[in-house]
């Protein structure tokens, strides 16, 4: 198989399972915490905890801003196949072609910083790029085939992953908070559980006892309550439904 077709095929497969495959990082994370307990800053340092969590929240904000300004059947959670009714080129998409994957990386980066192992951070960052490069390749092959010259003109001036903020231009759609709340509560839930899990494991591996810091217990409880409340609203009501989103 020619390399270009192989890249596209593997990218589509990775796209289909992009919600599940990153979970393989959790066993590796547990092993790293057990074997290499060294840290840059103590995991019980509340300022450091807040700084790491802020990096991950920044990733969520990038995702939220992207999703809040995009129409239905774009920037979606579809897993079976590529879908794009329109080509997004305005708003954040005027500065970067893959803002959702940028947001994902920032969310992971906060967790990696909290783990506190430089080698692990660099290895995961490299694997992240290799993994998502294939997905981005497949997505862009789909967009190029569907939108032709319009896609090529946009891609020529818009970076793939590092935003070029000087190119910002407002989009036509207003921001929809309901659309964000409907689609992003799962990410919030996974994020707070992940930070809490790291803190619990560090208590056990480093101090020899089960425990959780008060800061992370508070974050975990609030995150779970918010996520479950939003899930209930989505499943049992139409409050979060927005036409065309």
And the tokens for 165?
A: 């903020």
Q: Is residue 227 part of a domain?
A: no
Residue 190 lies in a domain: no
Model confidence pLDDT, tens digit, residues 216-232: 999 999 999 999 999 99
Residue of 48, 49, 56, 51 lying closest to 216 (CA atoms): 49
Q: Is residue 204 part of a domain?
A: no
Q: Rounded to an integer, what distance in angstroms lies between the CA atom of residue 203 and that of residue 201?
A: 5
The reported pLDDT for the residue numbered 161 is: 93
Residue 195 maps to a domain: no
Residue 173: per-residue pLDDT: 82
Please tell me the total count of domains within the chain. Answer: 1
Task: Please tell me the distance from the alpha carbon of residue 178 to that of residue 187, in angstroms, as a whole number.
Answer: 15
CA 31 to mean position of chain CA atoms: 23
Helix (H) or strand (E) holding 178: helix 177-207
In a domain, 46, yes or no: yes
**The pLDDT of residue 75:** 57
Give the pLDDT of residue 1: 63
SS3 of residue 223 by DSSP? helix
Contact 168, 125 (CB under 8 A): no
For residue 84, what is the domain's CATH number?
1.20.120
Low-confidence ranges of the chain (pLDDT < 50): none
CA 215 to CA 43: how far, in whole Å?
11
Is 243 within the bounds of a domain? Answer: no
- Domain hosting residue 50, numbered range: 3-174
Is residue 181 in a domain? Answer: no
pTM value?
0.91
- Three-state secondary structure readout of 110-146: HHHHHHCCHHHHHHHHHHHHHHHHHHHHHHHHHHHHH
Q: Give which of 104, 50, 68 is closest to 183, Cα–Cα.
A: 68
φ and ψ at residue 208, rounded to 5 degrees: 75, 20
């Amino acid at each position: 198989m020619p390399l270009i077709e192989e890249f596209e095929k593997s990218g589509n497969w990775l796209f289909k399972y992009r919600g599940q495959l990153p979970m393989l990082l959790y066993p590796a994370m547990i092993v790293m915490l057990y074997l290499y307990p060294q840290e840059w800053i103590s995991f019980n340092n509340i300022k450091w905890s807040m700084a790491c969590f802020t990096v991950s929240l920044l990733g969520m904000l990038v995702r939220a801003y992207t999703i809040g300004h995009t129409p239905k059947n774009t920037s979606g959670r579809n897993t079976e196949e590529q879908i794009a009714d329109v080509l997004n080129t305005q708003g954040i998409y005027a500065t970067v072609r893959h803002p959702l994957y940028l947001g994902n990386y920032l969310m992971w980066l906060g967790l990696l910083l909290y783990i506190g192992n430089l080698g692990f951070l660099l290895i995961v960052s490299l694997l992240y790029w290799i993994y998502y490069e294939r997905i981005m390749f497949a997505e862009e092959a789909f967009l190029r085939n569907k939108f032709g010259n319009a896609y090529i003109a946009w891609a020529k001036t818009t970076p793939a992953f590092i935003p070029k903020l000087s190119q910002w231009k407002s989009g036509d759609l207003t921001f929809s908070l309901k659309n964000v709340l409907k689609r992003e509560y799962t990410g919030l839930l996974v994020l707070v559980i992940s930070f809490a899990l790291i803190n619990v494991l560090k208590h056990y591996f480093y101090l020899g006892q089960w425990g959780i810091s008060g800061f992370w217990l508070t974050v975990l409880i609030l995150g779970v309550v918010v996520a479950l409340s939003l899930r209930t609203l989505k499943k049992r009501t139409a409050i979060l439904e927005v036409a065309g989103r």
